[in-house]
Structure 1
Amino acid sequence: MNNNTTIISFLVFTGLVGLATWLITRKDDHASSDGYFLGGRSLTFPLIAGSLLLTNLSTEQLVGLNGAAFQHGFHVMVWEVFAVVALVLMALFFLPKFLRSGIATVPQYLEVRFDHKTRMIVDMIFLTAYAVILLPIVLYSGAKGLSNMLDVQALTGINSETGVLWFMVIVIGILGSIYALFGGLRTVAVSDTLNGAGLLIGGFLIAYFGLKAVGDGNGAIAGWNSLIENAPARFNSIGGKKDDVPFSTIFSGVVLLNLFYWCTNQQIIQRTFGASSLAEGQKGVLLTGALKLLGPIYLVIPGMIAFQLYGHLGIGNDDAYGTLVKNVLPAPLTGFFAAVMVGAILSSFNSALNSTCTLFSLGFYKNVLNKDADEKQVVKSGKIFGLIIAITSMIIAPMLAGQDSIFGYLDALRQIILKCY
């Protein structure tokens, strides 16, 4: 692979997205809380769909779910398919209630329905979850994926994998922090939409070139036939009792987690609060659902391909996707996809930071610490708190390297939380 070609294509696409985003959003209002946190409530359905999709499709999904498919097989696609059900419920039931209430955060809605104490508790839960779970995973998975794709160890001369991981986490964290803290929600939404289009194209290309590699020069269709013939049991879409996602959990745990994620998770649904109207918000959410139906093509199939190509080499689950991308994509496309991946990482990182700032500024600072704060003070408090959270996440992220997989880390945290209750 020609590293120079990869790096040039990476820089060109990243620069074009940054320039286009700046040209579109340079006159936006970033001084008021409404403009900074909710994009001035002016988002149209393409921006909402693009931002929803890319915030979801960061490297913890690309690396994590493909890693799960690499280890467990095709049945992990249930996470993508059942997301559609949750998105339909969000569009038809939850979103009208949220927008009618005029809220900016989910805890704020709980205060309307219940009381102030409930809002404070949920604010604290969200803030802790973003700082300890979500942001570190985004940074870790992004660093892992990009270090494999761009061969960062060779480019930087850093000898150890741990050193490369720390280097990438710090670089992504600094860039993401600058982007998130100086931009607003609409800036995030615009760049998400541009990168989202590239991510879909790149994801399909990886599946295509991966199948060609499996087909050993006989084409993608031959590769698909070979993939099924060599391991038909791995294509069982119904998980057994000992599988990663047993069938019995689909109508309980999977549905409940999808409902939380797509209907009440502040990081995800904040851009729907910024919709210019209910109709625009609903169209954006439903378009996201339609795009999620294509998810298994780029979130599961590459993991299946990687298992056939590299399963005998003993590579880790979280290394499978990056290894496949580096080996099957032509050099110019590798740089292009790495640039899209950076956009996806920054999207999730920015969205989580923006939501963290929103929850702190509107939930704690304005509501508890300084009830007389003006708009400028509210926005400033969010930026300062976001910087603290970003630094904390950069410290935690490299510590995830000891886990078997990203999803394993999530399960370990789930077990700790359950024990606390």
Structure 2
Amino acid sequence: MNLTILLSFLFVTVVAALASIYATRKKQQQTPVGFYLGNRSLGFWMIGSSMFLTNMSANQFIGENEFVYTTNMSVMAWGMSSVLAMLIVAEFLMPVYLKIGAVTTPDFLAKRFDVQTQRIVSVIFLLGYLVNLIPSVLYGCAVAINGIFRVDEWLGISYFSAIRLIVLIVGIVGCLYNVLGGLRAITITDVVQGIGMLIGASLIVWYGFRYLGDGSIRQGVETLTFSHREHLNAIGGPGDVLPFGTLFTGMLLINIYYWGMEQYIVQEALASKNLKESQKGIALAAVGKLFAPLLLNVPGLIAVHLYPGLDNTATVFPRLVSDILPPVFIGLVAAVVFGGALSTFNAGLNSTGTLFTMNLFRPWLERKGRPADEHRLLRSGKTLQIGVTIAAIVFSPYIMYFDGGFYNYLQKVSSFFSVPVFTIMVVGLLTRKVPPLAAKIGITFFATVYTATQFLFDTGFHYLHVLAILFLVTTALMLLIGRLKPMARAFALPQQPVLNNPPWKNRFGYYILLLVLMVSIFILFSPAGIA
């Protein structure tokens, strides 16, 4: 192992940790709100950086670059279309959450439907984090770190053993960081890591084009844009893995759910000082998504020219980094990948503790007539986090055997948990008399039918189109139940003056600019542009 790479990696990682320790040394985090929501004190820099870096986990580095290498740039649609979804969330969902003083996104369901619906959705979230999010983050980070440091070769062990070892180390470090620091420590580290990510992205593109062009950046750009042009197209055709039409069906639904209802993402925005800071933070995260292809997609394009016929396509990103960058910058990128993984892992663990403690354990204590003091709640949440970490460490190395590739694993599994919850949230937001019974039937119907379409029979439609069709059918079913058995009293949104809630005055100008840039990037990577 190159000593320079290791020292550079340790330097960046330690600087980020020390910044977090220094900034949180005087903060009180002995209550659930303090620990899980940072005492509702986050400004837009922390919110934007944390939301962006939480999304930019090692899964993205590995999965999207692998997709570009094997297919084309159509995978970019997930990130680019999320800009529109994020602006919808900032404008319509965040005011609702902050108005009711929500600690978790299912809190709205407790007020709109009933506590039982809130608990059902909380359990769904927890299952999603346990089965999909946390294990896949550990696995993606392990693949990237092993590819950069060649741990299997250095220690003379099998690839599987190296992945298992790295998963163990990352899991322990991440769990300790989360249990000891809480949300505020995570977000401060994310600001530092976000700066490192922008630097790392620029370095990869710069050195990648130089490497591709034998020392000439111009020649590298020309090689990328005039050879293998089929990989440059982000407008997926009907026969592609991600047809362009899915942007307007299931992909849009998943993106709105992800940025506006997924607890581990939204938790940073819920911890804002006020609505203005929350909206500005989400817009800042959207700016990051516009730059994300430099790390998530362009390396895969460069790899198409450098490594034809790779056996293990999941190693595209780490192999490129280790081949094109000087050792000191390899360590920086490794630290960025490690930091991104920790950010997502910690956000998932933090949200797991929040959902369990506030929505399941505390109500259970209250029903049993037992004291639900804050120290007991924190202790139980941290205990659960440790247990989830152990389970994820054991399971995550086996993701490599999933049929269809890593990125396919992520999207397929996440769909089981996302759009059913999205459906009942949307119906709850847009109606006033649909009863709790409709929410329970709706989520059960959606999950059952979607599972059948993926495992029992083939509909002939893309799974994202299936999600959109089921969304419409389930919505119609819930509205029918609401018509036949409406609530006796129409729902009215309660207001708890937890936060000052004036919106961001200048937001619409920035929103329009972000949308124009989003469309421009799609045009660039299309037959009308360089493809």
Q: TM-score, normalization: structure 2? A: 0.76
Any conservation in 1 of the 2:136–2:410 contact (CA below 8 Å)?
no
- Following TM superposition, the consecutive aligned residue runs of length 4 or more in structure 1 with deviations greater than 4 angstroms are 414-417
Q: In 1, Cα distance between the equivalents of 2:415 and 2:232? A: 29
Tell whether 2:353 aligns with 1:357: yes
Tell whether 2:212 aligns with 1:180: no
Tell whether 2:322 aligns with 1:326: yes
Letter in 1 for 2:451: K
Equivalent residue number for residue 406 of structure 1: 406
Equivalent residue number for residue 235 of structure 1: 232
| Aligned with 1:262 (options 255, 259, 262) | 259
Tell whether 2:239 aligns with 1:207: no
| Aligned with 2:219 (options 209, 219, 222) | 222
Q: In 2, Cα distance between the equivalents of 1:224 and 1:167? A: 38
Deviation of 1:414 after TM superposition, in Å, equals 6.1
Q: In 2, Cα distance between the equivalents of 1:180 and 1:245? A: 35
Deviation of 1:420 after TM superposition, in Å, equals 5.3
Instruction: Return closer, same or farther for 1:345/1:226 CA change in 2, 3 Å cut-off.
Output: same
Q: In 2, Cα distance between the equivalents of 1:91 and 1:80? A: 17
Instruction: Return closer, same or farther for 1:250/1:144 CA change in 2, 3 Å cut-off.
Output: same
Instruction: Return closer, same or farther for 1:414/1:129 CA change in 2, 3 Å cut-off.
Output: closer
Q: Deviations over 1:106-155 (max 9, x none)?
A: 11111111111110110000000000100010000000000111121243
Q: In 1, Cα distance between the equivalents of 2:382 and 2:43? A: 26
Any conservation in 1 of the 2:110–2:118 contact (CA below 8 Å)?
yes
Instruction: Return closer, same or farther for 1:412/1:51 CA change in 2, 3 Å cut-off.
Output: closer
Any conservation in 1 of the 2:400–2:406 contact (CA below 8 Å)?
no
| Aligned with 2:195 (options 194, 197, 209) | 197
Within 5 A, what are the aligned runs for 1:33-182? 33-155=32-154, 157-182=155-180
Equivalent residue number for residue 246 of structure 2: 249
The answer for unaligned runs of 5 or more in structure 1 is none
Q: In 2, Cα distance between the equivalents of 1:281 and 1:117? A: 29
User: What number of residue pairs does the alignment pair up?
Assistant: 417
Q: In 1, Cα distance between the equivalents of 2:254 and 2:280? A: 23
Q: In 2, Cα distance between the equivalents of 1:413 and 1:367? A: 29
Say which structure, 1 or 2, has more relative contact order (CA 8 Å, 6+ apart): 1
Any conservation in 1 of the 2:8–2:328 contact (CA below 8 Å)?
yes
Equivalent residue number for residue 341 of structure 1: 337
| Aligned with 1:278 (options 275, 285, 293) | 275
Any conservation in 2 of the 1:67–1:405 contact (CA below 8 Å)?
no
Q: Deviations over 1:230-289 (max 9, x none)?
A: 112221221011112101211001111110110100000101111011111111011111
Deviation of 1:367 after TM superposition, in Å, equals 1.4
Q: In 2, Cα distance between the equivalents of 1:301 and 1:341? A: 16
Q: Which moved more, 1:130-139 or 1:193-202?
A: 193-202
Q: Deviations over 1:78-113 (max 9, x none)?
A: 111111001111111110110001010011111111
Equivalent residue number for residue 316 of structure 1: 312
Deviation of 1:316 after TM superposition, in Å, equals 2.2
Q: In 1, Cα distance between the equivalents of 2:128 and 2:33? A: 24
Q: In 2, Cα distance between the equivalents of 1:367 and 1:311? A: 56
Equivalent residue number for residue 299 of structure 1: 296
Instruction: Return closer, same or farther for 1:389/1:370 CA change in 2, 3 Å cut-off.
Output: farther
Cα RMSD between the aligned structures? 1.5
Q: Which moved more, 1:130-139 or 1:286-295?
A: 286-295
Deviation of 1:201 after TM superposition, in Å, equals 1.2
Q: In 1, Cα distance between the equivalents of 2:184 and 2:20? A: 10
The answer for unaligned runs of 5 or more in structure 2 is 417-446, 454-531
Any conservation in 2 of the 1:87–1:289 contact (CA below 8 Å)?
yes
Q: In 1, Cα distance between the equivalents of 2:288 and 2:28? A: 30
Identity %: 35
